[in-house]
Amino acid sequence: MLPRRQQPWKILLIDDNIANLKVAVEHLEAYSFMILTALDGASGLQRAELTQPHLILLDVQMPGIDGIETCRRLKANPQTAAIPVILMTVLSETADKVRGLEAGAVDYITKPFEAVELLARVRTHIALHALQLDLEAQVTERTAALKAEIEQRRQAQEEKELLLLTLRQMLETALASEQQHDQALSAERAMLEQVSACLETVQHEVERGTLSATAPELALARELLHTLLQQTATAAALSDDQPSADENPLERLTAREQEVVQLIVDGKTSAEIADLLAIERGTVSTYRKRIMHKLEVHDLAALIKLVFRYRSA
């Protein structure tokens, strides 16, 4: 039983004997096959490449290029190599049949052929060829789907790696800033202790009436106070990174936008966010652009940094 298709199955008959061609054509056309013909091997090769039939019936004994050589050339051509070839021969020697099969033929039929046998072999090999084409199509489709899936996973992996790198860099920056801030505070505390000790000495001397306006202790106290003011200004500059109490920019976001932001901070990829929120990946991209516009940031690192600042405030 042949698979159904909208267009008829095409068969190319290559035979120099017009009488044989007529018999085969009339019989096969009665079963709704589309029959194409060629009278020699050279024209048969050209027509096979041009029309791409589903099956070729090829006479072995022809002048010029015989059927065996024609079959070899058909199989050597990538455009026609997959087309099944049935040899038609009056030869009965096993060696001749083997030569045909070695040349690439899938079967042979002895002339004069029986109409029933011819039809059965034609149907069998067209059905096998159709099955092969269907399997190849399924393999191609599955391969394309696997490639697409692999590419999606690769992109998701790259997004995660980029996110991890960004978070690592932010952590290193935060630790360095914290360390610098701690150092400034430690220096300020040490300076305060020195100023406190100096002022105690000055106060003691003043109470005793032994300290003049040009005393070294008073000059040292003034110098220490000046240095303390500078360190305080430095510490304030380091604290400029702290969030303002006036406005939390995260409050500009809608509830859904805040959901997207939280998932981004959690390290989710665009594909994962789309799955979790049941939206398209393109919609995730639109949300991300809108969020960055509202928060006035230009990249993922700045977005995550701003979220950490105001969530921890």
Could you tell me the CATH number of the domain that includes residue 28? 3.40.50.2300
DSSP secondary structure string for all residues of 259-274 = HHHHHHHTT--HHHHH
User: Last residue of a domain, which of 59, 93, 113?
Assistant: 113
Structure tokens at 136: 């190849």
Whether residue 100 is contained in a domain is answered as yes
Query: Residue 31: inside a domain, yes or no?
Result: yes
CA–CA distance, 269 with 161 (Å, rounded to integer): 10
The answer to whether the beta carbons of residues 286 and 225 sit under 8 Å apart is no
Q: Count Cβ neighbours within 10 Å for each residue of 156-175 and write b for 16 or more, e otherwise.
A: eeebeeebeebbeeeeeeee
Which pLDDT belongs to residue 233?
Answer: 47
76 vs 126: CA distance, rounded Å: 20
Which residues, in sequence order, are CB contacts of 96 under 8 Å at separation 6+? 60, 89
Domain end call among 70, 89, 113? 113
pLDDT of residue 97: 79
Q: Specify if 286 maps to a domain.
A: yes
Amino acid letter, residue 62: M
Q: State the total domains in the chain.
A: 2
Low-confidence ranges of the chain (pLDDT < 50): 213, 229, 233, 236-241
Point out the domain boundary residue: 81, 113, 145.
113
- Which are the contacts of 231, defined by CB distance < 8 A and separation ≥ 6? 184, 187, 188, 191
Instruction: Report the predicted TM-score, pTM, of the whole model to 2 decimal places.
Output: 0.50
Measured CA to CA, the distance from residue 86 to residue 281 in angstroms comes to 53
Q: Could you tell me how far CA 282 lies from the centroid of its own chain?
A: 15
Asked if the structure places residue 219 within a domain, the reply is: no
Give the pLDDT of residue 270.
81
- Is residue 303 a part of any domain in this protein? yes
CA dihedral angle for residue 41, residue 103, residue 80, residue 26, rounded to 10 degrees: 60
Distance CA 80, CA 123 (A): 19
- What is the model's pLDDT at position 89? 85
Q: CA 29 to CA 23: how far, in whole Å? A: 10
> Residue 133 domain-assigned?
no
The boundaries of the domain holding residue 74 are 10-113
Q: Which residue has the tokens 């919609």?
A: 283
**pLDDT at position 59, please?**
92
CATH of the domain at 251: 1.10.10.10
The SS3 assignment for 306 reads helix
* CA 206 – CA 200 distance, rounded (Å): 10
Q: What is the pLDDT of residues 161-210, one digit of tens each?
A: 877 777 777 777 777 777 777 776 676 666 656 665 665 666 566 556 66
Do 35 and 122 contact (CB within 8 A), yes or no? no
Q: What is the structure's pLDDT at 236? A: 46
